[in-house]
Every structure is written in C-alpha cells, then in structure tokens.
Amino acid sequence: MSPFPETMSAVIARAPGGPEVLHCVQRPLPRPQAGEVLIRVAAAGVNRPDLMQRSGLPVPPGSSDVLGLEAAGTVAALGFGVSDFAVGDPVMALLGGGGYAEYCLAQAAHCLPVPAGLPLESAAGVPEAAFTVWHNLFELGRLQAGDWVLIHGAASGVGSFALQCAQAAGAKVIATAGGAAKVAALQALGVWRAVDRHREDFVEVVAECTAGRGVDVVLDNVGGPYVARNLAALASGGRHVSLAFLQGPRVEVDLALVMRKGLSLTSSTLRPKSATEKARLAANIRAHLLPWLASGLVRPLVHAQLPLAEAAEAHRLLEANANIGKVLLTAHAH
C-alpha cells in the first residue's frame, strides 16, 4: 500500500477575477521527475504575483494553475538524481507555482534547508523574500557594511526581510511605511529611522539622517512619482533598485541629476528567471543569508496564517495592504 494519498487539496482560480474566484479542488498527487523533490507542504507564502495570476495577468509558459510561488514542508519523495536532500528533511522552496496545495513539486536546486529553530510554517515566508532581497539588494544594489539604504514598503513581507538583511550586513536602514502601527513594527525591528509616509517627507528625513549626503541604495516598490524623489535622496554613486511599481511604471527621470551624481537605475523580476539562474541564487543564499536565519539575526515577519480553504481571505488581506509581514496559508500541521 502506498504511503501517499492519491489526491490532494489544491487552490486554483476558477476564472480571472477577485479573491472570490479562488477555489479548493482535488488534484492527483504529483510525482517528482529527475532533479525534483515532492514536498509535504506545511505552509505556502502568499505574494503579489499570486494576486496578478488570479486576476488573469499572463504567467510564464508551463506554469501550474495551482497558485503559490513559495512553500515549506518536509521532503516526501525524491526524483532521480537528487542527492542534496533526504526524505523527511525540512525544506523551503522557491516554486514556479503549485504551493497552495497539500503537496507540491520543487526543483531540488531551488530548495533551501530550514535552519533549526525556524518554525516550518514561518519558513514558508522566506524563499520569495530571500531570492528577491539577495539578488536586488546585494547583487544589483551592491549593498556593503556602512552603507545607508532607504527601503520603501518596509512593513511588507519582502520589505521587512530586506531591512533585517541590510542590518545584518552592517548597513544603516531608513525605512518607510504607512501609519503608526507599521512604523512601530519597523522601530521594533531596530531600523535607524522609520518614516511614516503619510506624515513625513522621506527626502527630508534622508537629508537629516545623512547630514545631506544621501543614501547609497534605494529599494523601491512604489515607482511612479517616488522615483524622482528617490533619485534626489541618493548620494553620489547611488544605486536605485526597483522591485515593483504600485504607483505606475512610467516615470520622468532627470538625466542631468543621474549623470551629475553618477547614479545607476536597475531592477529585476524573479518569476521569469531561468532555472539555472534560480539555482545560482539559491547557492548564494545558502552561503550568505542562511547563517543569518540560523542565528536568528533575520526572521520572516508573519502577519497571519490561514488554512488553505481561506485562500480568498488571504488575498483580501494582501490587497488591503494592511499586513505587517507575510501572509501564509497552512496545509499540514507539523
């Protein structure tokens, strides 16, 4: 008799639309192919690309209709040639999709071991943030110890992870968020200065904190009118890294300012990256970020954990932008 069920619960969008289109269905248990692992999911992270997929925006070819780009759990089965992990190992994985389910497949090369002391459910909030932060803040943004960094949307899952990593690396963090509760959460994480975007001008705050010099790196998920203000807040040789453009993709850039200060503007998206590139990032995260998680210096901030059946409510939470940290969906108790 097989130790596995033949089917599992999974969450799909029945049609493009709002959170109400999310629906739990039964699916055959997937089988790991060469280089893959089957994960018994403890929890899956909820991310903005999931909201975009649900609303009908295009996804990379071959993506699963089961939502979910990150998950954590235990290895249930190994595909051919997998030697890095054993059945029963706790792992957290970046996925091409399929995380909102009781079991999911992941490339072994895109999995990370879960450090002792990090709860398995919380670990589901790590992969998307870790891959995004390592690539954008440290590779593209070239953040170094002693640098000043301005992080927008810092109470979000990725933002709160980014600011902890920046601090662990020895940088000084100025972080923005909207409202007193979010600002208090940033202060609790020990940022140099938390800025309430509803009440303060972050360009003025940056000038005040850095004695007029500016920050070395800006991590921006707002776009639109923020970009010109970000460039004004950057120091000579500063790096502007765009993660998203919640206030619009079209911006006007003063090239005279960019040239005078020697600024660079860069960005990336994670989901369309090749499997090889994701494996490269995973190896670097294992070397550089995992020790911070293992020591407790960096911890995913968790706003809410809801069962799979309440995926629609999880999407509503994220869309309301009221979350401080990650929203997770739990599949199996551990």
- Report if residue 277 sits inside a domain: no
47 lies in some domain = yes
Q: Based on the domain organization, do 170 and 238 belong to the same domain? A: yes
pLDDT for position 229: 96
Instruction: Please tell me the predicted confidence (pLDDT) of residue 334.
Output: 61
Judgement on whether residues 54 and 167 belong to the same structural domain of the protein: no
pTM of the model: 0.95
- Beta bridge partner(s), residue 267: 242
pLDDT of residue 220: 96
Question: Per the domain annotation, does 275 fall within a domain?
Answer: no
State the CATH number of the domain containing residue 308.
3.90.180.10
pLDDT at 332: 86
Average pLDDT of the chain is: 95
Structure tokens at 68: 């979910």
Q: Are residues 19 and 81 in the same domain?
A: yes
In a shared domain, residues 187 and 72: no
pLDDT surpassing 60 at residue 1: no
Residue 222 and residue 312 share a domain: no
Same domain, 241 and 307: no
Can you give the pLDDT at residue 322? 85
Q: Pick from 216, 236, 267: which residue ends a domain?
A: 267
163 & 92 share domain: no
Alpha-carbon distance of 108 to 130, in angstroms, equals 16
| Whether residue 44 is found in the same domain as residue 84 | yes
Rounded mean pLDDT of 70-98? 97
pLDDT tens by residue, 47-60: 999 999 999 999 98
* Domain membership flag for residue 15: yes
Total number of domains in the chain: 2
Domain of 163: which CATH number?
Answer: 3.40.50.720
**Is position 165 within any domain?**
yes
Q: Are residues 244 and 325 in the same domain?
A: no
Span 198-214, pLDDT tens digits: 999 999 999 999 999 99
What pLDDT, in 10s, does the model give residues 170-205?
Answer: 999 999 999 999 999 999 999 999 999 999 999 999
Q: What's the pLDDT score for residue 62?
A: 87
Which of 236, 267, 298 is at the close of a domain? 267
Q: Is residue 177 part of a domain?
A: yes
Pair (259, 143) in one structural domain: yes
pLDDT tier at 4, thresholds 50, 70, 90: confident
Per-residue pLDDT, averaged over 245-274, amounts to 94
Pair (240, 324) in one structural domain? no
Distance of alpha carbon 187 from the chain centroid: 21
Q: d(Cα 105, Cα 28) in Å, to the nearest integer? A: 12
| 302-331 exposure pattern, b = at least 16 Cβ within 10 A, e = fewer | bbbbbebebbbebbbbbeeebbbbbbbbbb
| Among candidate residues 239, 267, 295, the one where a domain is terminated | 267
Write out pLDDT tens, residues 15-31: 999 999 999 999 999 99
**Residues 269-309: pLDDT tens digits?**
999 999 999 999 999 999 999 999 999 999 999 999 999 99
Range of the domain at 226: 130-267
Q: Is residue 276 part of a domain?
A: no
